[in-house]
Amino acid sequence: MSARAVRIGSFSGYLGDRFTGLHESVTGDPVDAVIGDYLAEFTLAQLAAVGRTGKSGYVEFFVEQVKDNLADIARSGAKVVTNAGGFDPAGLAAQLRVLCADEGVDLKIAHIEGDNVLDKIADLQAAGAKFDNLDSGEPLTSWGYDPVAANAYLGGWGIAAALADGADIVVCGRVTDASLVTGVAAWWHDWKIDDWDALARAVVAGHLIECGGHTTGGNFSGFTAIPDMTAPGFPIAEIAADGTTVITKHERDGGAVLPDTVTAQILYEIQGVRYLNPDVTVHLDDITLTKVGKDRVEVGGITGSPPPETTKVAMFAPVGYKITNTVYATSPNVAAKVELMRAQVGHGKPAGVHLEVQPLGVPATDPQNQWEATVAVRFMGIAKTAEELVEFDMARRLGALFLQSIPGFFTDALTPFNKKPSAQIDYWPALLPMREVPHTVVYADGRREVMQVPPHRTEPVVQPVHPEPTQQALSGETATIELGQLVYARCGDKGGNSNIGVWSRDPEIWKWLRSALSTDEIRRLIPEVKDLDIVRHELDGIQAVHFVLKGMLGTGGSSNTRVDQIGKAIGEYMRSRHVVVPADVAKRHVQEVTAADL
C-alpha cells in the first residue's frame, strides 16, 4: 500500500470531448494515471448502430488521440485506463499493440471482458431471468424488439488486477464510469474487496472527474465568473489511502475548481442519495465540500456499504428510423405559419410515417433586427423502415414550400436538406445478478482471470424518503425575480429519467430554497413534468435539493424525439423562471464566484 495519495487525471468525458485532452493530461502536472470516459448511454447506442454496419465496435476517436502520444505516455509513466473498448475491447487492445510496435514504444496493454452478455440473454431467460425494465417494470418479452447489444456494468477490480500485473494501458468495455478511477485507487492503495468506505469515496472521486471539464467550470451556471473558460483544464483527483479525495486541476490550464463547480458535478445524473456501483453502495447523505487551497476542494462525509447483488445491463435494439430538417419562419403569426407548414408537409404522407413539428423559441416583441423575428422550426419524420421515409421524401416536401406556403419562409442555403434516414435505437435498462457476469481481465501476455464477485447486501437498496416542505403563504414584503438570481442548477440523464439538482452556498437562500422548492413547485416551474412521477431529496451538507423526473426523456435519449434529446438544458430553463420570494431573500442574490473564491 502506498502512503502517498494517488493522482488520477481525466482526459475525456465523452466521445467528442476535446481532442487534445490526452496530450494535455500526460504533459501537465505529474499524475500517476489518466482515465478516459467515452461510453455515455447515448454513445453506446451510437456504437451499437455503427457495429451493425460492420465497422469496429470500439472508439476509433481514442485511437487517433493515442497514436501521437505514445512516447509522452511512456515518458510520463502515467497509466492509461479507458472504456474506449466499447463493444470490442480485445480489438482495441490489439490495435494499440500494433501502434506501439510501429512507434517503437514498449507499453504493456491489458483489457477487460465479460460485460457483453448478449449471447447469454436467451439462456438466462430460459432459466427464469425476466430482465424487467428498471423504469417501467415490464419484462423484456414485452419489448417486441430483439436486442443487438446487452452490456452489464462492471466494477473496478479487473482494472486493479491488470495494473498490479504491470499493465501500462487498460482497455475496458462497459465498466461503470467511476470504475475507471476506483480500479486505479484500489491497485495503488492495495485495498481489500470490502474496504467499503474507501471504495465509496473513490467512486465519488470517479464521478467527479469522469466528465472532464464539468468539474473545472464547464456546463456550470456561474460560468461567467470562471477564468479562462476558452479551454477549461481537465480535473485531477488526489485519493488518499482511506479514500479521502481532493479535486484539483493542472495549474497551467484554464477554468477553476471550486465548491460550486464540484457541487454541480456531484448532482449530475445521480438518482438519489444512494449511489449504486458494482463494487460498493455509496452514501451521499452527509457529503461535504471544503475549499482547502487554490483550485483544491476536499470531499468529505462519504461512507460505503456492500453493493447490491445485481448490476445494471444496458440493452439496445433498432426500433425504426428517423430523419430531421430545420426551416425558418418569421413573425408575425408564427403559430399559424407553423400549422400551415405542418399540414402541407404532412399532406398525403405514407400511413407508416409519424411527423413531429417543433418551433424552437418565440419571436421578440418589436424585434430590432430580422433574427429577433425568426423562429427555427424542426421537422422530424419517424417510421419503422427507412424505405417509408425515403418514400415520404421530407426534403422534397419542404423544398416545395418556397412559393406556395407561408410568407417569410426560408432555409439556410449553406445547410442542404438531410435526405438520409438514420436508425432509431431504443434503450432497455435491466438488472442481472453479478454472479452471472464473468468479469474477466485479459493480461498483456494473454492470461485470463475471472474476478471475485464482491460480498453483497441481501436486502434491496432503497432511497431514503425526504419529506416535502410544508408550504406556507408568504407574509410581509415580497419580490418577483428570476430563480437563477438565487440558485445554481445542474441536470443530467439516466435512461428515460432526467434529474435536477439546485443549490446555493448562501445559508439564508438555502433556508428559503429547501422550504420553497417542493415537488409541486417543480411541476409549476417545468409544466411538461406536471404528470410525471417525481422523487425529491435534500443534501444538507452541500445545501442542495435534488429531483428525479421519471420518464421525462421517454425510454432514453437514443430514441427520444425532444430537441434537447438528453435533457441537458432543463436546469437552465428552470433557472429562467420567475418566483415570488420574501424581499430580504431577493436582495441576497446568488453567491457569485469572486476573486477570493478563486
Please indicate, yes or no, whether residues 337 and 265 belong to a single structural domain of this protein: no
Listed in sequence order, the residues at least 6 apart from 445 whose beta carbon sits closer than 8 Å to its beta carbon are none
In a domain, 313, yes or no: no
* Percentage of the chain lying above the pLDDT 90 cut: 85
Please indicate, yes or no, whether residues 363 and 272 belong to a single structural domain of this protein: no
Boundary residue ending a domain (381, 403, 420):
420
Q: Where are the alpha helices (DSSP H) in 116-228?
A: 121-126, 157-164, 179-189, 196-209
List residues bridging with 498 in a β-sheet.
493, 549
Listed in sequence order, the residues at least 6 apart from 548 whose beta carbon sits closer than 8 Å to its beta carbon are 271, 272, 497, 498, 499, 534, 535
CATH number for position 399: 3.30.70
For residue range 24-64, what is the model confidence (pLDDT) as tens digits?
A: 999 999 999 999 999 987 777 777 766 656 677 899 999 99
Please indicate, yes or no, whether residues 125 and 98 belong to a single structural domain of this protein: yes
Q: Which domain holds residue 507?
A: 478-586
**Enclosing H/E stretch for 379:** strand 374-383
Please indicate, yes or no, whether residues 303 and 261 belong to a single structural domain of this protein: yes
In a domain, 15, yes or no: yes
Please indicate, yes or no, whether residues 96 and 242 belong to a single structural domain of this protein: yes
Mean of per-residue pLDDT scores for the chain:
93
Under DSSP, the state recorded for 545 is E
In a domain, 455, yes or no: no
Please indicate, yes or no, whether residues 95 and 154 belong to a single structural domain of this protein: yes
- Of 507, 502, 461, 506, nearest to 483 (Cα)? 502
How far apart are the C-alpha atoms of 267 and 542, rounded to whole Å? Answer: 10
Q: Specify the pLDDT at position 280.
A: 98
List residues bridging with 12 in a β-sheet.
36
Please indicate, yes or no, whether residues 118 and 80 belong to a single structural domain of this protein: yes
In a domain, 459, yes or no: no
Number of structural domains in the chain: 3
Please indicate, yes or no, whether residues 119 and 24 belong to a single structural domain of this protein: yes
In a domain, 175, yes or no: yes
In a domain, 468, yes or no: no
CB 203 within 8 A of CB 282: yes
Please indicate, yes or no, whether residues 156 and 43 belong to a single structural domain of this protein: yes
Tell me the whole-structure pTM to 2 decimals: 0.94
In a domain, 54, yes or no: yes
Please indicate, yes or no, whether residues 291 and 336 belong to a single structural domain of this protein: no
CB 382 within 8 A of CB 324: no
Please indicate, yes or no, whether residues 360 and 499 belong to a single structural domain of this protein: no
- Of 402, 262, 389, nearest to 321 (Cα)? 389
In a domain, 597, yes or no: no
For residue range 501-557, what is the model confidence (pLDDT) as tens digits?
A: 999 999 999 999 999 999 999 999 999 999 999 999 999 999 999 999 999 988 887
Please indicate, yes or no, whether residues 339 and 231 belong to a single structural domain of this protein: no
- Of 30, 20, 117, nearest to 78 (Cα)? 30
Counting every residue written for the chain, the total comes to 598
| Position 460 confidence tier, pLDDT thresholds 50, 70, 90 | confident
